[in-house]
Amino acid sequence: MALIEVRDLNKTYGGEIQTPVLHNINFSIEEGEFVAIMGPSGSGKSTLLHILGFLDEPTSGAYRFHGKTIDAHSEHEAALTRNKKMGFVFQTFNLLPRLSVFHNVRLPLMYSGTPEKKWDTLTKKAIQAVQLGHRIDFPTIKLSGGERQRTAIARALVNNPSVIFADEPTGNLDSKTGENIMKIFHDLNKQEGHTIVLITHERDIAEYARRIIHIHDGSIREDESLRKHHAHES
């Protein structure tokens, strides 16, 4: 069974004036995959990510996560699934600036049902995974952009989710820092086996993935498998 399965999915916004955003979307993602959803601004990729992350619902069609559709979840169950089985990384980091790296990363554990005695160990493990141990006690307001995004990735990792959704995670970073962030995602997938779904409009960022789903004007134009992946293997 696929981790993510999307079948004949459509999304339309609006009441009297209808704005179709996604048209007849079909794909599935297995556990352990690294998939980029790539398209220009306004192509529908962020709307699709919101549906995949249980932040929005399709107008028609089906989306199954671990075999279960969003409408089969109560609001409480959907929130629990988001917290425990999904990690989110955004372009704007979404950190609490006065809190330390440690306390930002630890935050999702407070709502997870994980026993409190495990919180500190899990937090430190996630921070080490993004090579930020030397900044563990720093308030995030004192960090560079790249360090803030590493903190956000650690926070997404801390519950050991089934999938990490990353929405333009290098959008606010210079190219060198963005490259370092993408190497972290690459290593998390290749060495740790994390499933990653990345939203981007940039080809060079998308090529860190193993597969690129090209979306344009709300439709999938191509589902491309990147077999030659040596560029980022070193």
Q: For each successive 10 residues of the chain (234 residues), what is the average pLDDT? A: 95 91 97 96 94 95 94 90 94 93 96 92 96 96 96 96 96 94 95 94 95 97 78 53
Answer for the pair 34, 208: CB distance below 8 angstroms, yes or no: yes
CA distances from 172 to 48, 90, 138, 181, 233 (A): 21, 10, 21, 12, 25
Provide the pLDDT for residue 3.
97
Provide the pLDDT for residue 234.
47
Distance (Å, whole) CA 1 – CA 21: 28
Provide the pLDDT for residue 113.
85
pTM confidence score: 0.93
Q: What is the three-class DSSP state of 220?
A: strand
pLDDT, tens digit (0-9, with 9 covering 90-100), for 33-59: 999 999 999 999 999 999 999 999 999
Give the pair of three-digit tokens for residue 115: 């026993």
Provide the pLDDT for residue 220.
97
E strand or H helix that includes residue 62 = strand 60-65
Would you state the torsion angle of the CA atoms of residues 22, 24, 30, 36, taken in this order, to the nearest 10 degrees? Answer: -40
Provide the pLDDT for residue 232.
57
